[in-house]
Structure 1
Amino acid sequence: MDKVGGAQKHVEALAIKLKQDGHGVTIVTGTYDATLWRLQDEQIHVISIPVMQRAIHLTKDIQALWQLRAIFKKIQPDVIAAHSSKAGAIGRIIGRLLRIPTIFTAHSWSFTEGVPQKKQRIYRQLEKTVQPLTTKIITVSDYDRKLALTRGIAPAHKMMTIHNGIEQLETPEIAARGTNEHPLIVMVARFEAPKRQDLLVQALLELTDIPWHLQLIGDGSLRPQVENYVKDKGLSERISFLGNQLDVSPLLAQSQIFVLLSDWEGLPISIIEAMRAGLPIIATNVGGVNELVTDDDNGFLIPRDDHSLLKNRLQQLLTNPALCEKMGDASERRFLRNFTFSPMYQKTVSIYEQAVLKFAKKGD
């Protein structure tokens, strides 16, 4: 949790609500940047194990496993909720060793379409190996559930789709969209694979004859590369780099168009946040994105690497405020109907409770 991302936001929101409901919650993560999260304010215990890293590294992974085992033996949790491929695998191994029910949430399979083939093979085999150790698998999109079934990862009865959801704003941001000098485009994403801020900048480079301003929210290792490209192309006055933001809702409230271009995805929380803000969406049609965005309804879906269509859809929205408003209204209605926090939370807690009861009945 040293970077802001959808899976991390999901874990934070669940942890805060669980704590508020009287449950004991401990988050165990790799590297951790407390300034990016509200966990300290909510008095949620966070344990950082720097040796647990994203990339596969046999020696460090074994060290992480034994450190986590010692931590869980001390905490003695009723249930382990594991998130992300690496931590998910290690967490499930420990769950079996300590006889603790373990729920794995797949935010996007690491063998999904768009991921390099070598990485797909490694993680597909890893998932097949640890699947028998898993009490239940939550997929955040129907796409990911179907993909797991197709690849023979787990039987249907062991998986359940629970779409991501976020809280409604208690005091909705007062939109200042009509006061912008130019149409404001926003993209909220880490500057890491699979996000593609570079594709958006390249498309806008061909639309400099019409007014627009772009705000890129997020940080990561690829940010300097994109910043240098923007500077080289003379776009520094039209593109702002805002870094990580604890609360993106005020920035979304001021925007006209939300864009997310990714090579692969699960069910992006950033798109759900944009829907809550009443924005039209332009996004690559990967993973579960089409469960959020219906083409030509609340936005436009773009095939991966279709540069021409991306440019055309941007131009279409930038030059048609009425269409932006119509699609934005459709986004907000869809959010309120399907992607609020409470239903997602209740379904998730129910899975945790069922897992604990199942283990109790077996005498584990």
Structure 2
Amino acid sequence: MFGRVAAWSLGTPVLFTAHGWGFTDGRPLAQRVAFWLAEKAAAPFSAKIITVCEADLLAARRTHVTRHDRLVAIPNAMPDISEFLRANPDKSPPRIIMVARLSWWKDHQTLLRALAGLVELEWTLDLVGDGPTRFQIEALAASLKISDRVYFHGFRSDVASYLAAAQLFVLASKWEGFPRSILEAMRAGLPVVASDVGGVHESVRDGETGFVVRAGDVEELRERLRRLITSPTLRLQMGRAGRALYEERYSFERLVAQTTAVYSAVLAEV
């Protein structure tokens, strides 16, 4: 906020990219109110506000954070990877992976409870990321008697290698904007199961590239996981569809072109 005010005071146009709003559903009410007030106060100092998905643009309009003409949506993107880092989703038994900070809003607990009801099937779970709830998540895995199947890898700089070794990606968050981790999974050719929060439904086409489930719904998540764990063919089909969608809509080149166009339009008005 202070940077926007400082630039505005010098007559320098400001473009702000909002990577998710703090005032959307999934956060505590007090946080949502505080974030909305902050964004409302800062918005007038921006020439344009770029949101990383349509859902965030609509949320800003719906809550009257700023004028509609100040908002523009440019979906997130990821640079491509080598073919050697593409996954083999039809390999069995499947390795399930979730790449996320270990924190309450990522809701690893719902994923563990869903998998605890699938112990008759063969699977393992890789958790990539670290954070304040690691101890609680480890304790829950132990209490559910699935510790021998759950692997905690901590923070990693080689996430693409872990995705390449997996067969199924999950993101069970309570709140998201437009998660880049899903794009990384699609880029690797993995089917995705994710909570229907923020702009997730824009990147995950339910029944085509994966499944979108209600946040916190253990039973729905469990049944979607069951379908993919038991069907290598479905994993391969959805993984290929996700890779094709990534190439069509989420390439880095598309992001650069759209962002450059917005910057050029703002500078033309100076």
Give the TM-score normalised by structure 1.
0.71
Matched, 1:235 2:165: no
- 1:175 to 1:126, Cα distance in 2 relative to 1, 3 A: closer
In the alignment, the residues of structure 1 paired with residue 202 and residue 144 of structure 2 have an alpha-carbon distance, to the nearest angstrom, of 36
Pair 1:303-2:180 in alignment: no
Q: Which residue of 2 aligns with 1:183?
A: 94
Cα distance change of structure 1 residues 303 and 228 upon mapping to structure 2, 3 Å threshold: same
For 1:226, the equivalent position in structure 2 comes to 137
In 2, Cα distance between the equivalents of 1:303 and 1:178?
26
- The 5 A counterparts of 1:59-138 are 89-138=1-50
Quick one: which amino acid aligns to residue 288 of structure 1? Answer: G
The number of residue pairs the alignment matches comes to: 270
Whether the 8 Å contact between 2:186 and 2:242 is mirrored in structure 1 is yes
Percent identical across equivalent pairs? 36
For residue 101 of structure 1, report the CA deviation from its aligned partner. Answer: 1.9
**Deviation sequence 1:256-303 (CA, Å, 0-9, x none):** 110001111111100001001111110001110010011111111101
* Partner residue of 1:342 out of 247, 253, 256: 253
1:249 has 2:156 as partner: no
Matched residue of 1:255: which SS?
A: coil
CA distance in 2, matches of 1:191, 1:90: 30
Secondary structure of the residue that 2:72 maps to in structure 1?
Answer: strand
> Which string of whole-angstrom CA distances, capped at 9 and with x for unpartnered residues, describes residues 158-214 of structure 1?
11100001111144425455665x211000001124211111011111111111000
- Given the superposition, is the C-alpha separation of residues 103 and 256 from structure 1 closer, same or farther in structure 2, using an over 3 Å criterion? same
Q: 2:73 aligns with which of 161, 182, 187?
A: 161
Gaps of 5+ in 2: none
In the aligned structure 1, how far is the partner of 2:268 from the partner of 2:7?
A: 15
Amino acid at match of 2:34: I
Counterpart of 1:142? Answer: 54
Quote the Cα distance in structure 1 between the aligned partners of 2:4 and 2:172: 32
Could you tell me how far 1:145 is from its partner in structure 2?
0.5
Mapping of 1:201-212 within 5 angstroms?
Answer: 201-212=112-123
Which among 185, 205, 212 is matched to residue 274 of structure 1?
185
Tell me the distance in 2 between the aligned counterparts of 1:177 and 1:285: 23
State which of 64, 71, 93 in structure 2 corresponds to 1:152: 64
Q: CA deviation at 1:100?
A: 2.4
CA-based RMSD: 1.6
Partner Cα distance (1:326, 1:175) in 2:
13
